[in-house]
A and B are shown apart, each in its own frame.
Chain A
Amino acid sequence: MISRRRVLRMGGLTALGAAVPDAALRAFTPEAGPVRRLVVISHCHGWPYEGWRMRPAGRSADEPWTLDLAPLAAGYLSRALAPLHPHRRRVLALDGLSLATAELDAGGNRHDRGWIHAWTGDNADFAARDTRSVSPSLDQVVAAHVARPDRLPSLELSLDAALEAGRPISYSLGGMRLPAERSPLGAWNRVFGPASSGDAVGRRRRTTLDFAYREYRELAPRFTAGERARLETHFGLVERLGHRLESLATLACEAPAQPAAEFERYDLGFDAFTDVVAAAFGCDITRVVTLSLGEMPTAEFGADHISDKVHKGIAHYIHEDPAKYAAMTDYVRHHAAQVARFVSTLEAVPDAGGGSIMDNTLVVWCSELGDGWHGYCHYCPVLVGGEWAFATGRYLYWPHETPAEMRVPSQVLTGGATRFSGIPHQRMLVSVARAMGLDLDHVGLKHARGQRGDFIDVSGPLPGLAA
C-alpha cells in the first residue's frame, strides 16, 4: 500500500509539497482549532408561509427587522417553528428570501429547477438523460474545502419512504448527481461496515493506485523539474486517494449499533440516520452530510384523514383548501421536530476539543420549493448552529424588493405574479460557505435578469448574519 511514511522516505515530500495546492496540504495537518462540520437537510414541498412566519406586533412589513428568539416562550414561535424552541439560541430563521433564479430559469419541472437552484445556486441543465446541474452543490463546495484527505469527503443520505424519494440535492464538481445512501443500514455499512474496513476486494482495488503511483516514481527521474511538478501534483493526489482508502479501511472508531434494515415509521428512519451521522462526526469520518428527506407518510403528522399522499393529495392544494394548508404546516412542523432531535443528538456527543459536536456544526434546513403549490416566492431557510460565524438566536425579516416577478396563486394575488421577489437565496449559500471558511463571493450564479430586464446581483452574503 501507499503510505505517507513511504513518500517521506522516497524524498517525494519536497516535490509534492511544492506542487500540491496549499488547501490540500493544509488538510493533512491537524487543525489548530475545532473541526467545522456542515449538515444540509432538505425536505420536499417547501413551507406554507403563513404557518411558518412570525410577525411580532409593531414590526413593519416594509422594513427589515430582527427578533431576538432567546427570551421567547415556546408559544411565541410560529406553529411550524415551535419544535425548535429548545434550540432557539442556535437558530437563525430567515424570512425574506426567494428562489428567484429558479423562477427566472427557463423550462423544466419546477421541482427539478427548485432543488438544483436551491442547492447549487445555478441553473439546471435539462438537455441530458437526467437533470443535471451547471455548478456543484453547496455541500460539495464546502466538502472540497473542509474534508480530510484521508476520510470520506462527504456523506449523502436520502430518507425514502414508500412514496417519493428524497430529491437529488447533491451535485459533484462535475455537475453529476451524487448517489445517496437510501437507508440507515446502507449508510452504516458505508461508514462502519465491511466496505470501509479492509475487505479483500477493497484492498486489491487500492493496489491499482499503488501500482500507478509506483510507475510514476519509476518514471519521475526522466523528467525535468517543470514536467515533474505537474505529474507530482497529479500523483500526489493519487497517493492521497490511496491513503484515504487505506485510512478508512483501518480506521479505529467505535461504531454505533448496526441499524435495522427497515423501519416501520419515517421518524425512526430519520433517527437512525441521525445516529449514524453523529457517530461519523464523532470519529471524524466525514465533515459534510446531506440528508434529503423524501415524502413523509401523512399518518406521521396526523393528516392521513385528508389524504394518503403529501404531494398529490395535500401540497398542491394548499391555496385552495385551508385544511390542507394547515396540514402542510403540521408537515413542516414535524420536520422541524426531526431537525430538533437531530440537533439534540449532536449536542449529546462530545467533541474532541471540548464542548459538543453540535457546537462545531452548522445545520442548514431548507427545501426544494417555496411551497407545495410549486411556488418559489417565500423561501424560508433555518440555520441551526454555526455560532462561530453567525449571531444566532434570531429571526430576521427582509421585505421583498428584488425586481423579479414570482408566480403566486391568483387566490393570493390577482394576476398570479408579484412584482418583486425576496432576496435571492444564493446569498444565504454564500453566507454558509463563508461560515465554513470559504472565501467566496458567489455560489452558482453571480447575477440574473428579472422578467422586466432588471439586473439582479445574487452575489455576496446575506446582510446582518455575522457574529
Chain B
Amino acid sequence: MRHGIAPALLTAALSGILAPAAASGQTAPGRTALPPDAAPLALTPAEYNNTVADLFGFPRDGDRWPARPALADRISPRREPSRGVFTAPPPPPVWPWRFPAETGSEGFEGIAEGQAPSSYQVEELHLAAMHFASFALVSPTFFACDGWGGLPAAEQAACAWASLGRFARRAYRRPLDPGERRRLEAFWRANAAAGPLDEAVALTVAGILQTPTFHFRIEPRRGPAGARAPLSRWELASRLSYFLWDSMPDEALFAAAEAGGLDTRAGIEAQARRMLDDPKARPAVVRFHHQWLGTGDVLLVAPARRAFGPLFGLDARLATARDDDVEWPAVMGPVRHSMKLETELFVEGTVFDGAGTFTALMTDHRGYMSDATAPIYGDGAERLEGPAVTRTIDLVVASIGRRKPLTLYPASFPPGERAGVLTLPSVLALGAYAVQPGPIPRGVRVLERLACMHLGTPVQGAETALPPDTLTAESTNRERTAAATRPGTCNTCHRTINPPGFAFEHYDAIGRWRSHDNGQAVDASGSLTLAGGERIAFADGVDFARQLAASRRVRDCYVLRWTGYALGERLDAAAPGLDALQAGFRADDSIETLLVSIAGSDLFRRRPGAGATGGHE
C-alpha cells in the first residue's frame, strides 16, 4: 500500500489495539446512541451532482452534457482550465463538480456527524451554483414554454417565472409555502430589473441552488422528545430517493407522495421496489459498497515496479537510472481503474443481475477482468459468455492526461482462489504495502467494516515496529508480521487482528493468488472469535469468506451499516426495529429485500421528535 492512502488506511491498520471490551467479545455493533438532536443532512458531493443532473435533465455523464453556456462566463467567477506544463490536459468535464470529500463517519459519507462544514466547502458550493445555473438556459426540462429565447420580452418574463417556480418546487423537493414563493418572486423580479433576462434566470437558479432547502435535507423535528415522529410525505420521498438513487425524487415519486402513496408501509415498499428496478439504483448501491469496503480509494494504490514490473512484462528496474519511468504508470493506470470497475461490476452484477444475496456477495467466484488485470488473475481465469463492458478511463502518463477505453469482460475464477468481495484485487491491494501484503490492514478491514468491531488506538510508534517492506527476507510475510506483533503490548490486540489478515496471505500485494511466499508454502489458516462470541476457524481466505457470509455478526453488521446509511445516522445497534430487519436478513439473504424492508421500517419512516413544530406537510 502506498502511503498516499496511508493516512486513512494505515491509521486503521495501526489502530490495531482492540479496546478491552472488544477483545473480550463484549462490544456491540455501534458505539454511540442515536444523537438526540441530529443535524439536517447536507447533500453529499455525489448527491449534489446527481441532483443537479436530474434537475436539468442531463445524463450522469459530463461528456454528454452540452458545452458550458457562454452566459456562464459572464456570471461565474473565472476558473481557467489548466494550461498544463508540457501539454494542456483534457479539459475538465462540465459535470460533476469536484467538491472536497466529506470527513465521513466510519468510511461513509452522508452521515450527519461526518459533514462538518468549512469555508472552503461553502465557497465551492457557491462556485458550483454559479457554474450550473447557466445550464438552466440549455436544459431540456427547465422552461415551461417552447422556444424561450425567441419569445417577446413580456412572454419571456412570464415563462421564466413559471419555469423558475416549477424548478424551485423540484429543487426544494416539495411545494413552496406562500412565503417562500413570495420571496423567490421578489428575488426574480430584482434580478430581472437589474439586467438581461437570461442572466436573471441564471442568477435566480443560482440562488435556489444555495438555499438550505436545496442543499440540506430538511426534516424539522416535531412531536415529543424521545419518540420517533412520522416524516411528511415530501420528506419521506426525499429520504427514499437519496437512499436508493443518491438523488432527488422523480416525477412518479413526487406524484406518489402527493397522492398519499407513501403513507403506508406497503406503499413505500412498492415505490422502493420500483426504484430498485430503475438504473439509477445501481450506482447508488455500488457506492454504498465502495464505502463499506473502502474501495473508493483504489485508484491510489501503488504496488512497486520492483516487485510487480515483471508480472506485466517490464523489467523490475529501469534500464538506466536516467530514464523517466513512463512505463509503470502506463501499466498501473489501467490496472487501478480496472480494479475499481471490477469491484463495481461485481457488486452490480451480484445484487441486480445475479443471485442478489449476501452469500453471493461474499462467496461468488465469478466477476470481471480486463486485459490490464489479466496477469493478476493468471491462467486460472476463464472468460465467460456475456456482454463486455467498455468504459473511458482517465490517467496521466509522462505528464500528459489521457483518456482511454478499458474493456472488462465477465470471467470465472478458480473457486479455490476467489470468493466474493474480500478476494477482489481492489480490496487486497488496498490492504497491502508497495511490496508485501498487509495482514494488519486486511485484518482491521474485516473486523471493523464487516464485523462492526471497534479497535482502539495503537500504542505510540507502533508503525515503526512493522516488518520492513522488502522483496527478500529469510522468513514469510506471516512470520515477520507475527514476530513484529509478538511482544505482549502488541499481542493483546494482534491476536485478534492478525488472523483475519493472515487468512489472505495467499494473495500478494497486488491481489494475485500465490501458493508460496518466499519459498515456503503459504499458511493462511487460523481462527478468531468475533465480538459477540462467534468463533471461526478457517483453512484459508476462501474458507474464511464463506464462513463470514454465514456469520450472524457479519450479517447483522451489514444490516446496521445499510440502515444507518439510509437514515444518515450513526445508528446504535439497539435502535428499535433494527433487530427485526436483522432477523429478516439472516433468514432471507436477499439484499433487495433488505433494502425494501429498510424503506418500509418505522426507523426509516420516522425520525426522532424534539418537541418542535413546523415543516411542510
Q: Which of A's residues lie within 8 Å of B, judged by CB?
A: 24, 101, 105-112, 122-131, 134, 144, 149, 160, 164-165, 167-168, 172-177, 179, 182, 195, 200-201, 204-205, 207-209, 211-212, 214-216, 218-219, 221-227, 229-231, 233-235, 237-238, 240-241, 373-374, 407-410, 416-417, 445-449, 451-455, 457
- Nearest chain A residue, comparing its CB with the CB of B36: A226
* Distance from A455 Cβ to chain B, minimum over Cβ atoms (Å): 5
Q: Is the CB of A410 within 8 A of B396?
A: no
Q: Which residues of A contact B35 (CB under 8 A)?
A: 226
List of A residues within 8 angstroms of B300 by Cβ: 123, 125, 127, 134
The chain A residue with its CB closest to the CB of B466 is: A455
Q: Does B257 contact A (CB under 8 A)?
A: no
The complex places the Cα of A284 from the Cα of B138 at a distance, in Å, of 41
> B115-123, B281-289, B353-361: which one contacts chain A?
B115-123
Assess whether B395 is interfacial by the CB under 8 Å rule.
yes
- Which listed segment binds A: B158-166, B210-218, B448-456? B210-218
For A122, list chain B residues within 8 Å (CB).
4
Cβ contacts under 8 Å, B394 to chain A: 127-129
Once bound together, how far apart are the Cα atoms of A112 and B401, in whole Å? 12
Does the CB pair A417–B321 fall under 8 Å?
yes
Q: What chain A residues lie within 8 Å of B304 (beta carbons)?
A: 106
Inter-subunit contact B434/A106 (CB<8 Å):
yes
Known: A408-B321, A449-B469, A454-B468. A127 touches B82 (CB 8 A): no
Sample of 7 A–B contacts (CB below 8 Å): A134-B300, A174-B120, A205-B206, A218-B183, A231-B212, A238-B210, A449-B468
How far apart are the CA atoms of A173 and B195 in the complex, in Å?
A: 35
Expressed in whole angstroms, the minimum distance between the Cβ of A114 and any Cβ of chain B is 11
Q: Say yes or no: is B26 at the interface (Cβ < 8 Å to chain A).
A: no
Whether A204 pairs with B39 at a CB distance below 8 angstroms is: no
A454 — which chain B residues lie within 8 A by C-beta? 468
Interface presence of B403 (CB below 8 A): yes
List A contacts of B615 (CB < 8 A): 222
Q: With A127-B333, A128-B394, A212-B210 as given contacts, are A447 and B39 in contact (CB-CB < 8 Å)?
A: no
Within the assembled complex, what's the spacing in Å between the Cα atoms of A462 and B37?
45
Q: Mark B71-101, 1 if CB is under 8 A from A, else 0.
A: 0001111111111111001101000001111
Q: Does B129 contact A (CB under 8 A)?
A: yes
B194 within 8 A of A: yes
Which B residues lie at the A interface, using CB under 8 A? Answer: 2-7, 10, 35-40, 42, 74-86, 89-90, 92, 98-101, 112, 115, 117-124, 126, 129-130, 179-180, 183, 187, 190-191, 194-195, 199, 203, 206-207, 210-213, 215-216, 218, 220-221, 299-300, 302-306, 320-322, 324-326, 328-329, 332-333, 336-337, 393-399, 401, 403, 433-435, 463-464, 466-470, 610-615
Q: A144 to B121, alpha carbons, bound, how many Å?
A: 12
Q: Is the CB of B183 within 8 A of A241?
A: no
CA distance A451 to B434 in the complex (A): 9
The answer for the CA separation of A417 and B317 in the assembled complex, in Å, is 12
Query: Smallest Cβ distance from B287 to chain A, in angstroms?
Result: 18
The answer on a CB contact under 8 Å between B463 and A173 is no
Asked whether, in the complex, the Cβ of A224 is within 8 Å of the Cβ of B221, the reply is yes
Contact of A230 among B39, B89, B183 (CB under 8 A): B39
A212 B3 Cβ-Cβ under 8 A: no
The reply to whether A208 and B183 form a contact with Cβ atoms under 8 Å apart is no
List the B residue with the shortest CB-CB distance to A134: B4
Which chain A residues border B211 with CB–CB below 8 Å? 211-212, 215-216
Docked pose: A216 CA to B211 CA in angstroms: 7
Cα separation A101 to B10 with both chains bound (whole Å): 17
